[in-house]
């Protein structure tokens, strides 16, 4: 018995192969009889049923479709819409990066308390937009003389009174900070610059305000006790005092006691910087002022003489 | 018995065929399935890409690029949904991705009726093709498309499939998806489409170019009728409704004047954006770009340039609509116009040629054509600043020869081949006298003139030769407009710009233009030059402007190059500065039918006047700002002395503080050799 027959019998398919006649039909009647027998007809109906059910219920499509759904996750993201999608993703990432950079520059500028912080935080060539109020706050942190160098306070008052100055754009450039005071249409009302030298000065002032004279290298070897400084100052003619300290009111207004005074070794545009170290409780700070070069030189020569005298007299030096 | 054998052979043959086909099908399935694309979930995720939108300064959206707006099915007109289903796939709700009956029918038609090919793609198959496959025809591509369609049907609901299809379908003229198409063609959202409009749109996907209603309205209407018939056949509408819809007014929106095709300005904007952000961000990033262009002013500029060039065609004797000169020597002359705001440098209008479709070369920006005499204001400024001259200084118009080291002597000639003798500098500029300009540049040196031009905003490389003062180095109309605006603004230079602000899709600012001016020229000397140029417009070589009825205070200068290759007029009011250039692309002189050369005053100035008249219509007359140290005097145009009651045609000149008029007739001495006194034989820049 063939394997097929055995299998058929095993599964009770009731296909009696022995009973089937595989010989060639001898006439048409025989052929028709065989064709219209129960088994072929059942087979035809079965096939027909399968075809009809597929046409009616689309099960083949559904089976294939469902199979493909199961393999979807493993398949590549290819094809035109995916390419567009990838480009969109790349574009979004690039934009996100640009926006993030801009916003972080903007945030740092907003959080900065001084112009030097803005200058050091802003990447070169980038800018940040601030409100006019914020700019005023930064401006007011500057010592009067430096603030004047940037823009006169009257000028800012005028712009504010006109009501057109709404925003300020700061841009970090090679030579320092470029500042545009803008109206609502982004038109520049006034263009200001803080040169890198001025920024350096501002930085020094900021440093000075927090530390001692030793923090400022330009005063090295030229630091004198306040007592000796004012004694030397007393030695100057009355008319020269104003040339050393043109605005002593600023010092008077500062709480605390002057303990030491430093004289810078650099003269800029006919002026020499003087550093007044002030003790307030446990804190020390330095106020920087400028004196005329010639007057400060005279003062310094007095101080040096007094130092020599002190050294020869008591063997003590500074 | 033979019959039985035949039937048997047919039976077994069919069986074999079916087996072979099944095997091939299975093989193809396993081959195709290997690199079948992944289907995204949800479908809208990747269809939805934000568009980059470009806006005019006046707020209108003038261009949308790349993006697709995904709208839900509920926001699409039922008429359109029915129209598209009736036309593309009326059994959409019944099949499972493949319409077998339709496929059999299509196969039958394709095989039995030679020359006819019938498509049977369902909406799902079309969606599959549009999303993932190229348009390359191959059996394997078709099979893959079918498999993906089957997957889409299994993975998504019919509503989701239809929604995705309607949101990505291409309708031509850059409109992807029904929402964009409805807005582009009818200026309304897809939810408001009428039956007639819906039927017209539903006919487009078959061939968006062939049925483009802007180009082929008759074809589009025929296709609309087909769509309406299909809707009637399917039972969505009655015959009466179909008939009535066919007769309904479509209310097509006119194509956007500043559209993708046809705008030199948008090309410039897009190129700039691509340079700054890269093409991927521009086309897929969903930027919002606010430009400086004024939609109305742009239309006026296009109209004026077109009309001016037609007038020029007539002067040149070129037949209307032929496209070539009557002599067949070359193409029609081209033109360019740039208008920008004097106070900011914002470009308000830009036309780069007579027809963008024919040539996309932007002559307003990329052209480098000789400006001729329109360059002289830079020379006069330099002479006033460096030599301390003033508009009343007298020079003699006479043949001049300027020795040039290592080169032949320079012998500039006047346009009219005549010399008028002594005259003040204001008159010399008004009449564009070359011999006096040559004497001035001989004294200032070309380098100084070039420096002035660069200070004003000319960015092109200028040759440091004497003739540079007569405009022998190429510049673009944009540069000229920008540089003349510097005079108009009293010596303050504003960088020209056309992008005001760029935001991302969420409205976060990427950049914004800051309008900052830079002092480039002395305000008083700049005003003196403006006053000279007012003379050009009021009574000089540009006086056609007044004759054409443009009456607002304006200043400008004509320019014509040797051989009449280029004709220019650049001029400004206190608000708007416009530069116009006309000429042939490939060096061909412009001469009218009588052989007379066409100058800037004849060809470019009328275009300028026509445009400015429209662009400034309704503007109140506004004077140029006069610096406090300027005083006006009436002088004799020949002697430069203060005019008396007997002076013939006195001229008003602007003098700076400390500048006095001559009390006696004194001619300015110049170091120029005037020995060669013969009259020139050929005209030179004017």
Please give the residue that has the higher pLDDT: either B388 or A218: B388
CA–centroid distance for B106 within its chain: 47
Per-domain residue ranges of chain B: 1-34, 68-247
Overall average pLDDT of the A258-268 stretch: 86
Q: Using N-to-C axis directions, what is the helix angle for B195-202 and B239-247, rounded to 10°? A: 80
pLDDT at A188 over 50: yes
Q: Is B556 in a helix, a strand, or coil? A: strand
By annotation, the residues of B acting in catalysis are: 88, 373
pLDDT at B261 over 50: no
Contacts of A169 in chain B (CB under 8 A): 514
pLDDT > 70 fraction of chain B, expressed in percent and rounded: 92
Say if residues B36 and A68 touch (Cβ distance below 8 Å): yes
The nearest alpha carbon in chain A to B344 belongs to A187
Q: Which of B140-149, B230-239, B242-251, B323-332 has the lowest mean pLDDT?
A: B323-332
Taking 50 as the threshold, does the pLDDT of residue B195 lie above it? yes
DSSP sequence for B425-475: HHHHHHTT-HHHHHHHHHHH-HHHHHHHHHHHT--S----SGGGGGT-S-B
Q: Where are the domains of chain A?
A: 3-66, 99-198, 211-314
pTM over 0.95: no
Residues A49-97 have pLDDT tens digits of: 998 998 888 898 999 999 999 999 888 888 888 888 888 888 889 999 9
Question: Measured between CB atoms, does B30 come within 8 Å of chain A?
Answer: no
Answer with the residue of higher pLDDT: A124 or B649.
B649
Kindly tell me the number of DSSP H helices and DSSP E strands found in chain A. 14, 8
State the Cα torsion B8-B14-B20-B21 to the nearest 10°.
Answer: -170
* pLDDT reported for residue B327: 41
* Predicted local confidence at residue A219, as pLDDT: 85
Q: What is the DSSP letter of B507?
A: -
Task: Kindly calculate the radius of gyration of chain A based on its CA atoms and give it in whole angstroms.
Answer: 47
Q: Which chain A residues touch B94 with a CB distance below 8 Å?
A: none
Residue B288: is its pLDDT beyond 80? yes
Q: Give the distance between the most distant pair of CA atoms in chain A.
A: 153
Residues in A closer than 8 angstroms to B514, CB to CB, are 169, 180, 182, 186, 188
State the sign of the Cα–Cα–Cα–Cα dihedral A159, A160, A162, A165.
positive
Question: Which of B45, B287, B514 is facing A180, going by the closest CB pair?
Answer: B514
- Average pLDDT over chain A, rounded to an integer: 82
d(CA B499, CA B307) in angstroms, rounded, equals 28
For chain B, helix, strand, coil in percent to 5 are 45, 15, 40
A205: which 2 tokens?
């002032």
For A191, name the nearest residue in chain B, comparing CA atoms only.
Answer: B516
Closest A-chain CA to B509: A99
Q: Between A271 and B667, whose confidence is greater?
A: A271
H/E segment holding residue A224: strand A223-225
**Cβ separation A76–B49 shorter than 8 A:** no
Contact B49 A62 (CB under 8 A): no
CA B514, CA B661: separation in Å to the nearest integer? Answer: 43
Q: pLDDT tens digits, residue range A192-225? A: 989 888 888 787 777 667 788 888 888 888 899 9
pLDDT over 80 (residue B581): yes
Cβ pair A80:B132 closer than 8 A: yes
Nearest CA in chain B to A62: B154
Per-residue pLDDT at B214 exceeds 80 = yes
How far apart are the CA of B168 and the nearest CA of chain A, in angstroms? 10
Interface of B with A in 203-262 (CB under 8 A): none
Q: How close is the nearest chain B Cα to the Cα of A120, in Å?
A: 21
Asked if pLDDT for residue B328 goes beyond 50, the answer is no
The answer, yes or no, to whether residue B357 has pLDDT greater than 80, is no
Q: Which residues contact B416 (CB under 8 A, 6 or more apart)?
A: B683
The pLDDT, as a whole number, for residue B514 is 93
The mean pLDDT value for B63-83 works out to: 87
User: Is B416 a residue whose pLDDT tops 70?
Assistant: yes
**Torsion B210-B212-B213-B215 (CA) sign:** negative
Per-window interface: B 118-157 vs A, CB < 8 A:
130-134, 147-148, 150-155
Indicate yes or no: CB of A81 within 8 angstroms of CB of B280. no
* Per-position DSSP letters for B328-382, written without gaps between them: -SSBPPEEEEEEEETTT-BEEEEE-SS-TTT----TTTT--B--GGGGHHHHHHH
Query: Could you tell me which chain B residue has the CA closest to the CA of A96?
Result: B504
Q: Report yes or no: B432 and B558 within 8 Å, Cβ to Cβ.
A: yes
Q: For tokens 């262009």, what's the residue?
A: B293
Averaged pLDDT for residues B5-28 = 85
Mutate to test the interface with A, among B32, B37, B156 (most CBs of A within 10 A): B37
- Is A69's CB within 8 Å of B154's CB? yes
Dihedral (CA of B137, B138, B140, B142) sign:
positive
Q: Which residues of B touch A25 (CB under 8 A)?
A: 4
pLDDT for the residue numbered B668: 54
Q: How far is CA A37 from CA A20, A30, A34, A40, B662, in A?
A: 11, 11, 5, 6, 133
Of B46, B96, B516, the CB nearest to A61: B96
Range in A107-121, B368-382, B421-435 the model is least confident about: A107-121
- For residue B310, pLDDT over 60 is answered with yes
Long-range contacts of A246-249 (CB under 8 A, 24+ apart): A246/A289, A246/A290, A246/A291, A247/A289
Q: Supply the angle between the helices B376-387 and B477-488 in degrees, to the nearest 10.
A: 40
Cβ contact B178:B244 at 8 Å = no
Higher pLDDT, B63 or A312: B63
What is the average per-residue pLDDT within B517-535? 96
Residue ranges of B 342-361 with Cβ closer than 8 A to chain A: 344
Chosen for mutation from B3, B10, B49, B505 (greatest number of chain A CBs closer than 10 Å) is B49
Q: Hey, are the CB atoms on A95 and B504 less than 8 Å from each other?
A: yes
**Highest-pLDDT range among B59-68, B398-407, B652-661:** B652-661
DSSP letter string, B70-100: ---GGGS-HHHHHHHHHHH-TTTTTSSS--H
**Inter-chain contact A188–B35, Cβ cutoff 8 Å?**
no
Q: Is the pLDDT of residue B377 over 60?
A: yes
- With beta carbons under 8 A apart, name residues in chain B contacting A99: 504, 508, 510
The answer to whether B511 and B281 have CB atoms below 8 angstroms apart is no
Question: pLDDT > 90: what percent of chain A?
Answer: 14
Find which of A57, A65, A193 to mutate to test the B interface (most B CBs within 10 Å of its CB). A65
Q: Of all residues in chain A, what percent are helix, strand and coil, respectively (each to 5)?
A: 55, 20, 25
How confident is the model over B6-26, as a mean pLDDT? 86
Residue by residue, what is the 3-state secondary structure of B272-337?
A: HHHHHHCHHHHHHCCCEEEECCCHHHHHHHHHHHHHHHHHHHHHHCCCCCCCECCCCCCECCEEEE
Please report the pLDDT score of residue B663 as a whole number: 75
> How confident is residue B538, by pLDDT bands cut at 50, 70 and 90?
very high
pLDDT-derived band at B103, boundaries 50, 70, 90:
confident
Sheet holding B499-503, edge to edge: B61-65, B52-55, B288-291, B499-503, B509-512
Question: Do residues A255 and A222 lie in contact, with contact meaning Cβ atoms separated by under 8 Å?
Answer: no
The overall average pLDDT reported for chain B is: 88
pLDDT of residue B686: 37
- CB nearest B38 (choices: A27, A75, A180): A75
- Residue A9, min C-alpha distance to chain B (Å): 26
pLDDT score, position A30: 83
* pLDDT tens-place string over residues A1-14: 455 555 555 554 44
- Residue A171, both tokens: 């841009």
Q: What is the pLDDT of residue B404?
A: 83
The average pLDDT across B571-583 equals 96
Contacts of residue B292 in chain A, CB cutoff 8 Å?
none
As a CATH number, domain B68-247 is 1.10.3810.10
Residues of A in contact with B344 (CB under 8 A): 187
Best residue in B6, B31, B46 to probe A by mutation, most A CBs within 10 Å?
A: B46
Q: Which of B592, B591, B541, B538 is nearest to B563 (CA)?
A: B591
Task: In whole angstroms, give the CA distance from residue B55 to residue B486.
Answer: 27
pLDDT band at B135 (very low <50, low <70, confident <90, very high): low
CA–CA–CA angle A57, A58, A59 (5° rounding): 90
Residue B380 CA: distances (Å) to CA of B371, B582, B637: 15, 25, 17
Instruction: Name the band, by pLDDT with cuts 50, 70 and 90, for residue B626.
Output: very high
Report the alpha-carbon distance of residue B617 to residue B615 in Å, rounded: 6
Quick check: helix, strand or coil at residue B41?
coil
Give the tens place of pLDDT for each residue, B595-609.
899 999 999 999 999
Give the three-state DSSP class for B581.
strand
Whether pLDDT at B230 is above 90: yes
Query: A115: distance to nearest CA of chain B, Å?
Result: 21
């Amino acid at each position: 018995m063939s394997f097929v027959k055995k299998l058929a019998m095993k599964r009770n398919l009731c296909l009696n192969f022995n009973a089937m006649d595989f010989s060639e039909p001898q006439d048409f009647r025989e052929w028709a009889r065989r064709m219209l027998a129960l088994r072929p007809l059942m087979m035809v109906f079965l096939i027909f049923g399968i075809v009809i059910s597929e046409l009616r219920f689309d099960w083949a499509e559904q089976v294939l479709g469902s199979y493909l759904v199961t393999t979807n996750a493993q398949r590549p993201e290819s094809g035109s819409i995916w390419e567009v999608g990838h480009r969109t993703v790349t574009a979004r990432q690039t934009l996100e990066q640009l926006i993030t950079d801009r916003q972080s520059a903007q945030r740092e500028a907003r959080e900065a308390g001084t112009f030097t912080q803005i200058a050091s935080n802003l990447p070169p060539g980038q800018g940040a937009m601030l409100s006019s109020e914020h700019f005023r706050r930064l401006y007011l942190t500057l010592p009067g003389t430096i603030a004047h160098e940037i823009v006169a306070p009257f000028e800012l008052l005028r712009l504010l009174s006109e009501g057109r100055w709404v925003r300020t754009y700061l841009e970090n450039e090679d030579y320092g900070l470029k500042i545009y005071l803008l109206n609502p249409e982004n038109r520049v009302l006034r263009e200001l610059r803080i040169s890198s030298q001025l920024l350096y000065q501002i930085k020094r002032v900021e440093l000075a305000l927090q530390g001692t004279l030793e923090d400022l290298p330009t005063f090295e070897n030229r630091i004198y006790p306040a007592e000796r400084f004012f004694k030397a100052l007393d030695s100057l003619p009355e008319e020269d005092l104003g040339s050393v300290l043109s605005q002593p009111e600023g010092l008077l207004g500062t709480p605390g006691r002057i303990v030491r005074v430093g004289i810078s070794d650099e003269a800029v545009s006919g002026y020499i910087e003087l550093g007044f170290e002030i003790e307030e409780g446990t804190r020390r700070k330095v106020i920087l002022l400028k004196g005329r070069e010639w007057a400060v030189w005279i003062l310094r020569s007095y101080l040096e003489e007094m130092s020599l005298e002190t050294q020869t007299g008591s063997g003590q030096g500074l | 018995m033979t019959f039985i054998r035949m039937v048997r052979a047919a039976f077994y043959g069919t069986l074999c065929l079916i087996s072979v086909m099944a095997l091939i099908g299975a093989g193809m399935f396993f081959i195709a399935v290997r690199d079948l694309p992944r289907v995204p979930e949800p479908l809208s995720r990747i269809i939805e890409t934000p568009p980059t939108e470009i806006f005019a300064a006046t707020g209108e959206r003038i261009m949308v690029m790349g993006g697709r707006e995904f709208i839900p099915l509920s926001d699409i007109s039922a008429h359109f949904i029915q129209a598209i289903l009736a036309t593309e796939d009326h059994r959409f709700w019944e099949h499972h991705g493949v319409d077998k009956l339709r496929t059999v029918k299509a196969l039958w038609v394709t095989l039995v009726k030679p020359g006819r090919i019938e498509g049977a793609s369902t909406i799902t198959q079309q969606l599959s093709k549009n999303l993932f496959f190229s348009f390359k025809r191959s059996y394997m591509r078709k099979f893959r498309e079918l498999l993906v369609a089957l997957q889409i049907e299994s993975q998504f609901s019919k509503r989701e499939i239809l929604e995705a299809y309607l949101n990505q379908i291409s309708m031509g003229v850059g409109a992807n998806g029904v929402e964009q198409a409805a807005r582009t063609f009818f200026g309304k959202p897809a939810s408001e489409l009428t039956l007639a409009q819906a039927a017209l749109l539903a006919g487009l996907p078959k061939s968006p170019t062939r049925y483009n209603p802007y180009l082929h309205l008759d074809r589009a209407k025929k296709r609309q009728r087909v769509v309406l018939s299909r809707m009637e056949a399917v039972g969505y509408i009655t015959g009466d409704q179909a008939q009535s819809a066919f007769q309904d007014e479509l209310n097509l929106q006119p194509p956007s004047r500043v559209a993708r095709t046809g705008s030199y300005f948008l090309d410039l904007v897009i190129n700039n954006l691509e340079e700054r952000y890269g093409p991927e961000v521009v086309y897929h990033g969903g930027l919002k770009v606010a430009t400086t262009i004024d939609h109305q002013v742009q239309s006026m500029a296009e109209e004026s340039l077109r009309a001016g060039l037609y007038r020029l065609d007539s002067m040149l004797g070129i037949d209307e609509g032929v496209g070539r000169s009557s002599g067949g020597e070359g193409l029609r002359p081209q033109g360019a116009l740039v208008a920008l705001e004097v106070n900011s440098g914002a470009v308000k209008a830009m036309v780069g040629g007579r027809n963008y479709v024919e040539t996309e070369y932007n002559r307003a920006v990329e052209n480098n054509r000789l400006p001729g005499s329109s360059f002289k204001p830079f020379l006069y400024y330099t002479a006033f600043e460096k030599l301390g001259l003033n508009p009343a200084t007298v020079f003699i118009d006479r043949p001049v020869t300027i020795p040039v080291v290592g080169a032949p002597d320079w012998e500039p000639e006047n346009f009219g081949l005549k010399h008028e003798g002594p005259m003040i500098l204001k008159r010399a500029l008004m009449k564009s006298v070359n011999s006096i300009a040559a004497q001035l540049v001989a004294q200032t040196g070309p380098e100084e003139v070039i420096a002035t031009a660069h200070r004003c905003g000319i960015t092109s490389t200028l040759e440091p030769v004497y003739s540079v003062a007569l405009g022998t180095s190429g510049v673009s109309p944009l540069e000229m407009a920008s540089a003349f605006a510097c005079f108009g603004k009293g010596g303050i230079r504003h960088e020209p710009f056309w992008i005001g602000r760029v935001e991302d899709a969420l409205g976060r600012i990427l950049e914004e233009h800051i309008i900052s001016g830079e002092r480039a020229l002395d305000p008083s000397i700049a005003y003196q030059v403006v006053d000279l140029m007012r003379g050009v417009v009021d009574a000089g070589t540009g006086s056609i402007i007044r004759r054409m009825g443009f009456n607002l205070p304006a200043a400008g200068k004509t320019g014509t190059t040797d051989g009449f290759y280029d004709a220019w007029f650049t001029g400004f009011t206190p608000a708007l500065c416009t530069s116009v250039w006309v000429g042939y692309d490939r060096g061909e002189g412009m001469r009218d039918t009588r052989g007379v050369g066409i100058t800037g005053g004849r060809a470019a100035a009328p275009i300028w006047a026509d445009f400015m008249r429209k662009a400034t219509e309704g503007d109140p007359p506004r004077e140029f700002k006069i610096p406090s140290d300027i005083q006006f005097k009436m002088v004799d145009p020949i002697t430069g002395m203060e005019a008396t009651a007997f002076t013939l045609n006195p001229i008003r000149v602007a003098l700076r503080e400390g500048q006095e008029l001559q009390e006696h007739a004194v001619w300015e001495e110049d170091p120029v050799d005037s020995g060669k006194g013969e009259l020139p034989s050929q005209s030179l820049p004017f």
